[in-house]
């Protein structure tokens, strides 16, 4: 399992393109793996025969763990010993024996002690006695045990379907859980006058998300602490401002990245964002388009969400969440007018950013949005 990014610790095998015994050519894609929401195809390092698949589909393993063995058709592999380290389990030793027949499961069925009455009720209600706790002598299952099991089963909600937590969804679950567990989240919230942004949206057909990326990148240039990560006990502030945008797809949440967003015009960001969103939903993003992010933006305004508290995309220092645009009365210059407003929420890692700098950054992003004009 190769290390495909600086932060990669484990990878999951998604799909093998070849079966054991098939010929492979050097440079040919043989397996697809997933790490940190990104899928990669790994090429065969040499030509030969795929003699042994060590890591099956769906298994998550640490980097540098052997995935498979490619060898000559007649090469002896019996002496090769490898170490398999499944994630979150103790390492185990396996000696490779390519021609060994798989062991057959034992046909012997463990006898479960139960009374005749208990067996009768279990059969009538299709109850697996192996799932019933016995209260009789030496754990013998009695009639009352089956009845108690049936009562508990009735109270259990019916399951519509079970969806395995795999692929991008599993990677997302692990990342957000790690973020919420390790980073002390804090939030600052502001309302933004979207009058100028709405004009640009209508006149230039530029999305609000593109406008937010453009304005946020300008604010990050002035407040670089928000453009940072915490790595090995050090705050790493980046020169490049690479804004990731959360995109919902059928497979799960993807965060494509607009590199050097502060150096690009609003029309350029708009066109690049459209391309990234389309590729994300088609599953055609490149490695560069999915890595290198230094700040993340998430927008749920299109779903009529007023505001929400986002989870930081680790190991980044902050994330900006945008809600929907709502017409509200705004007092300014002694007058009250109805204006389009949006609520912005900055979620930040309090280990890296204090409250005052977080508020200053969000204020700058707000001003950047409110002072937009068509020349941007």
CA separation for the pair 319, 84 (Å, rounded) = 37
The angle formed by the CA atoms of residues 192, 196 and 198, to the nearest 5 degrees, is 85
Backbone angles phi, psi at 157, to 5 degrees: -60, 145
Query: How many Å apart are CA 30 and CA 41, to the nearest integer?
Result: 7
Between the CA of residue 2 and those of 36, 64, 197, 290, what are the distances in Å? 13, 6, 44, 17
Question: What token pair was written down for 175?
Answer: 């990342």
User: How many other CB atoms are there within 10 angstroms of residue 375's CB atom?
Assistant: 6
Tell me if residue 185 is catalytic.
no
* CA atoms of 254 and 106, how far apart (whole Å): 45
Which residues partner with 249 through β-bridges?
Answer: 252
- DSSP character at residue 250: T
**Residue from 125, 149, 185, 350 carrying the catalytic annotation:** 350
**To 5 degrees, how large is the angle CA 257–CA 259–CA 262?**
120
CA angle 252, 285, 62 (to 5 degrees): 70
**10 Å Cβ neighbour count for 203?**
9
The single-letter DSSP state of residue 346 is E
Q: Return the DSSP state at 239.
A: S
Q: What is the DSSP letter of 104?
A: P
Residues designated as active site: 350
């Amino acid at each position: 399992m190769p290390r495909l990014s600086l932060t990669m610790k484990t990878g999951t095998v998604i799909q093998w393109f070849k079966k054991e015994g098939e010929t492979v050519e050097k440079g040919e894609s043989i397996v697809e793996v997933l790490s940190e929401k990104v899928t990669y195809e790994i090429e065969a390092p040499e030509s030969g025969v795929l003699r042994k698949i060590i890591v099956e589909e769906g298994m998550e393993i640490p980097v540098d763990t052997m995935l498979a063995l490619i060898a000559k058709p007649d090469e002896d592999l019996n002496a090769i010993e490898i170490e398999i380290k499944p994630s979150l389990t103790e390492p185990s030793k396996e000696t490779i024996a390519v021609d060994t027949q798989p062991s057959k499961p034992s046909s012997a069925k463990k006898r479960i002690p139960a009374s005749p009455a208990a067996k009768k009720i279990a059969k009538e209600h299709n109850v697996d006695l192996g799932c019933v706790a016995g209260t009789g002598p030496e754990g013998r299952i009695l009639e009352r045990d089956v009845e108690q099991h049936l009562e508990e089963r009735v109270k259990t909600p019916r399951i519509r379907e079970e969806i395995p937590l795999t692929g991008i969804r599993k990677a997302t679950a692990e990342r957000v859980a790690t973020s919420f567990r390790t980073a002390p989240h804090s939030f600052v919230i502001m309302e933004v006058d979207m009058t100028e942004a709405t004009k640009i949206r209508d006149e230039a057909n530029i999305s609000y998300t593109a406008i937010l990326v453009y304005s946020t990148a300008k604010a990050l240039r002035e407040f670089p602490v928000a453009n940072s990560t915490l790595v090995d006990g050090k705050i790493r502030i980046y020169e490049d401002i690479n804004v990731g945008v959360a995109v919902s797809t059928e497979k799960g949440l993807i965060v494509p990245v607009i590199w050097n967003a502060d150096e690009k015009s609003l029309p350029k960001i708009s066109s690049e964002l459209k391309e990234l969103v389309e590729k994300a939903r088609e599953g055609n993003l490149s490695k560069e388009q999915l890595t290198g992010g230094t700040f993340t933006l998430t927008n749920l305004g299109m779903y009529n969400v007023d505001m929400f508290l986002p989870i930081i995309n680790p190991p980044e220092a902050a994330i900006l969440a945008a809600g929907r645009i709502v017409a509200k009365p705004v007092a300014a210059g002694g007058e009250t007018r109805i204006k389009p407003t949006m609520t912005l929420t900055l979620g930040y890692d309090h280990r890296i950013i204090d409250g005052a700098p977080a508020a200053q950054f969000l204020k700058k992003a707000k001003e950047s949005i409110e002072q937009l004009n068509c020349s941007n």
